[in-house]
Structure 1
């Protein structure tokens, strides 16, 4: 089964603790069960992707 890179929207629950990057390229460290925040740059809703390092 291949790993898919899901996008998460502002307000959704964080599925896995780790670093996420928003559409503006800003990174945030988020914990499991927190909610994805608005964009740190624009303050608007955004999408987040998990950083796989």
Structure 2
């Protein structure tokens, strides 16, 4: 199933679907579809995010 694939998203990209995401520092955030991925909540720098089931 496509949404089970591992995919990384970067700060500033559009959120593809509402849900919980995990940043590179290990912090979870609930993000809504069509928002943009934020900076890391720990370092306040660009980061990568992955969807967390």
SS for the counterpart of 1:35 is coil
Question: Normalized against structure 1, the TM-score is what?
Answer: 0.92
Query: Which sections of structure 1, spanning at least 5 residues, go unmatched?
Result: none
Instruction: State the Cα RMSD in Å.
Output: 1.2
Q: Which residue is equivalent to 1:34? A: 35
Q: What is the Cα deviation at residue 13 of structure 1?
A: 0.1
Query: Which sections of structure 2, spanning at least 5 residues, go unmatched?
Result: none
Question: Normalized against structure 2, the TM-score is what?
Answer: 0.92
Aligned length: 52
SS for the counterpart of 1:8 is strand
